[in-house]
Amino acid sequence: MNILDALLIIVLLVCVGTDLKSRKIYNKVIFPSLLLTFGLHIYLHGFSGFTQGLLGFLVGLALLLIPYLMGGLGAGDVKLLALVGAVKGVSFVLMTAVYMALLGGVMALFILLFRKGVWHRLKSIVYYLSSLKQGMKVPLGIDKNDFQATYPYGVAIAGGAFVTLFMKGGIFPW
C-alpha cells in the first residue's frame, strides 16, 4: 500500500463517518485532501502524475455532475468521487463508479424495504402495475415524501472505492 492509498482510505473512512452522522461530506476534509493529493502526485511522479490525477478528478466530477444538477445527490458526493479520481486516476474511478452504483442500488433497496410503510408502498406499486395491464391508470398512492428521503450515498462511493482497491490489490496485497 502506498501513501496515496493510505490517504484515500483515511479520507473515505472520515467521509463515511460524517455522511452517516450528519448526511454531509465536508469541504474541510475534501479540499485539503485534494491539495495533498496533487502535491503528492507532483512529488512522486512529476507533471505526468499531476495530469493523471487531474484527468481522474475531471472524470470523477463528470460522473456525478448530472445527478447532482438534477437534485439526486449532494455536492459532497460529487466532490468525494472527484477526489477518488484525483487520487487513483481514470480507470480506478470508472471501476469505482460501477461498484458504487451497484452498492447504491442495494442500499436504496434495503432502505425502501426497511422504512416504515413498506407494505403500503409495495401494495400501491402492485395496484398501479395491475391497473396499467388492464388499460387503466390508477394513481400510484405513494406519498411524495417517500421519494424525497435521502440516504448517505458517500457510503456507496466509499464501498465502491474499497471494492476497487481490493480487486486491484491495493488492500491486502497477498
pTM > 0.85: yes or no: no
- In the chain, where are the structural domains located? 3-117+152-167
Query: What type of residue is 174?
Result: W
Interval 47-100: pLDDT, tens: 999 999 999 999 999 999 999 999 889 999 999 999 999 999 999 999 999 999
How is the chain split among helix, strand and coil, in percent rounded to 5? 80, 0, 20
Residue 159 contacts residue 168 (beta carbons within 8 Å): no
Beta-carbon contacts of 46 under 8 Å, excluding residues fewer than 6 positions away, are none
Query: What type of residue is 83?
Result: L
